[in-house]
Amino acid sequence: MTYESYQEAVKNLNKYAYHYYVLDDPIITDEEYDKLYHKVLAYEEQNPAYIALDSPTQRVGGVALEGFKKAAHLSRMWSLEDLFNSEDLRKWLERVAKQKANVSFYCEPKFDGASLNLIYENGELKQAITRGDGAMGEDITQNAKTIRSIPLRIAYAQRIEIRGEVVIFKDEFEKINLERSRLKESLFANPRNAAAGSLRQLDSRITASRNLVFLPYGLGENELDQSLLSEKMAFIYSLGFKKAPLRTLAKGFDEIEEAYGTMKRERESFEMMLDGMVIKVNEIEAQEEMGYTVKNPRWASAYKFPAVEKITRIKDIVLQVGRSGAVTPVAIVEPTPIEGVVVERASLHNFDEIDRKDIRIGDKVIILRSGDVIPKIVKVLSHDRGEEIRPYIRPTHCPVCGSELLDEGALTKCQNLECSSRVANSIIYFASKACLNIDGLGEKIVESLFEEGLIKSVIDLYALRSDQLLALEGFKEKKTLKLLEAIEQSKHKECWRFVNGLGIEHIGEVGSKSLCQHFGLGFTTATKEELLSIDGFGEEMAESLLEFVRVNAAYIERLSSVMQPKAPEAKAEASENPFKAKTVVLTGSMSEPRGEIKTSLEALGAKVSGSVSKKTDYLIYGEDAGSKYDKAMSLEVPCISEEQMREMMA
């Protein structure tokens, strides 16, 4: 192969890939493509200095990174205001009309994935940055290059930011989860999480294997001079990007509702998940005049789809035993696809709820799924019930260990502390983010370690050996080492994580923190009076802790000597400052992790609370502030920006 024929071959491969990945309309067979691809590869192996920047061989991913670098967007990435019904739409249109009469609207689907900013310079893909806080994200260029619908080169030389959503098609999502379930890895909750997770892989070969798709939805910094958004988008598509389905121009309320109705009706038939319709003012000049609020453009909004409801049948009602011993019923339903996930279970909350709704095995029901949560049963179609369907009978004994259940009405409990389901779930809880945050120790792995008899309680985690793990299905060298390392790193963590991980009833993250702040690891010897003197500690919490310590003192001692948690440093009385003794709430993304800002504020004597109420002294907002900001405004709580906060701190 000569250099000229190599260049020609690269050009052709890119053309074939464009037809395949962008236009969904292949013009050659896979074999022909592979044959040419291998010729190109062979040439490149002989002539590494001549490898073309946009050669398809550059998309396979390469050396794994240590971590991602932060990178700034050239212009800010915004969020959208959500509209939930016709009334919201009407009001939004009225607001638009007040600022600018007679505009038209560009409507397109709202894709449910992860947003990405692509920066091209001199026609080359220079940088791909995740959304992050809107101002800064992570540089994931190496991963973006593996996505076939992202051109590595475009026929446009000026610097330009092209923004869009990275999605995973529903069928690809099913495949990934099937494989993960085979490997006993935790499943992705939905295609959005799968897309975001795949984009943030340090090993770009994993990203390359996931068949991600990029759908452009707009621009950041650009020198384009078209006066309509629809024209700018047409130009972007002409550069080789994939078109969004169902794009429409609409004039007013009725036309927008019509476009929305069509999209909502057809959403299930699309390859990707849609979670609404985005409405944007089409005239660029009008957009510029209207401008932005703190979080959103005033010229665009997201008209969300309602949660999807489906009819299915209850095949069975099974019981789950949680770490506190609570027994909860779960409905097993006929597998029903809802928005990209096959639903097989629905939550029933508790036995009183089964009675109240008169839910029976065999019943046809309407289930509703919104977001990532396990679907709910909204309604029983009891008119459709055969006579043989009998009422559900509450269990009297634990389905796992067989001991007698304590029935307190809404709450039914297994009281056997050694019940294997309680134990496995308490280990899962111990490893979760809010406790010791042991990466890779999810539900499936804990269950198999438990079933194999390798762990009987949390403390056994610290005695696991690599040969034991290697003998398990799905465990190879790398996974084993990673898990053992993560377990080792859970030692010497903050004391409150250790306490929270014990799973003491009524004592959560906040309780564990104040407990450790006061007593460090000495909490095991605190008296009831001392406990009650802690701000926020009530009778129920104190009783629960004392009882737990009474029963488990030796165990706590043993675990703590293995883990050696870190006791917090003693707090000095804060000197006078604007935040002393004030209750503040943080919202939105800030320039450093919120946890760190919280620590600085607490050091000044502020109480940092999670929710806004009339008692809040200040709401401190970062980029992309959400409903807390709106609530604070409506309660007339003073809202200050992160910058103002820093001035006040200084």
Q: Does 131 bind ligand IVH (CB under 6 A)?
A: yes
From candidates 168, 278, 354, 563, binder to ligand IVH by CB under 6 A? 278
Smallest Cα–Cα separation from 330: which of 344, 341, 342?
344
Q: Does 111 bind ligand IVH (CB under 6 A)?
A: yes
By Cβ distance, which residue is nearest to ligand IVH?
115
Find the part of the chain contacting ligand IVH (CB under 6 A) among 246-254, 261-269, 297-305, 454-462: 297-305
From candidates 14, 55, 79, 207, binder to ligand IVH by CB under 6 A? 79
Q: Does 298 bind ligand IVH (CB under 6 A)?
A: no
CA atoms within 13 A on the CB side of 64: 6
From candidates 80, 107, 250, 612, binder to ligand IVH by CB under 6 A? 80
Find the part of the chain contacting ligand IVH (CB under 6 A) among 74-82, 94-102, 434-442, 503-511: 74-82
User: DSSP assignment of 463-530, as one string?
Assistant: G--HHHHHTSTT--HHHHHHHHHHHHHTTT-BHHHHHHHTT-TT--HHHHHHHHHHHGGGGGG--HHH
The residues pairing with 281 across neighbouring beta strands, listed in sequence order, are 105
Find the part of the chain contacting ligand IVH (CB under 6 A) among 78-86, 329-337, 595-603, 628-636: 78-86
Residue at token pair 């009339």: 614
Q: Which residues contact 373 (CB under 8 A, 6 or more apart)?
A: 347
From the candidates 91, 110, 295, 413, give the one annotated as an active-site residue.
110
Nearer to ligand IVH, 111 or 450 (CB): 111
What whole-number distance in Å separates Cα of residue 637 and Cα of residue 629? 9
Residue at token pair 């040419």: 36
Least separation in angstroms between residue 165's CB and ligand IVH is: 4
Find the part of the chain contacting ligand IVH (CB under 6 A) among 103-111, 425-433, 438-446, 453-461: 103-111
Nearer to ligand IVH, 109 or 240 (CB): 109
What whole-number distance in Å separates Cα of residue 86 and Cα of residue 261? 11
From candidates 78, 475, 496, 548, binder to ligand IVH by CB under 6 A? 78
Nearer to ligand IVH, 257 or 543 (CB): 257
Reply yes or no on whether 110 is catalytic.
yes
Q: Which residues contact 410 (CB under 8 A, 6 or more apart)?
A: 350, 351, 352
CB atoms within 10 A of CB 157: 11
Least separation in angstroms between residue 216's CB and ligand IVH is: 9
Least separation in angstroms between residue 53's CB and ligand IVH is: 28
Q: Does 556 bind ligand IVH (CB under 6 A)?
A: no
Alpha helices in 137-213 (DSSP H): 141-144, 170-182, 191-199, 204-208
Alpha helices in 403-476 (DSSP H): 420-431, 443-451, 466-470
Q: Does 220 bind ligand IVH (CB under 6 A)?
A: no
CA atoms within 13 A on the CB side of 81: 23
Instruction: Report residue 14 as tokens.
Output: 């890119």
Smallest Cα–Cα separation from 199: which of 191, 207, 209?
207
Within 162-181, which residues bind ligand IVH (CB under 6 A)?
165
Q: Does 137 bind ligand IVH (CB under 6 A)?
A: no
Least separation in angstroms between residue 240's CB and ligand IVH is: 19
Smallest Cα–Cα separation from 630: which of 79, 84, 96, 81?
81
From candidates 302, 436, 458, 483, binder to ligand IVH by CB under 6 A? 302
| Residue numbers at the binding site for ligand IVH (CB under 6 A) | 78-80, 108, 110-111, 115, 131, 165, 217-218, 278, 297, 300, 302
Which active-site residues does the annotation give? 110
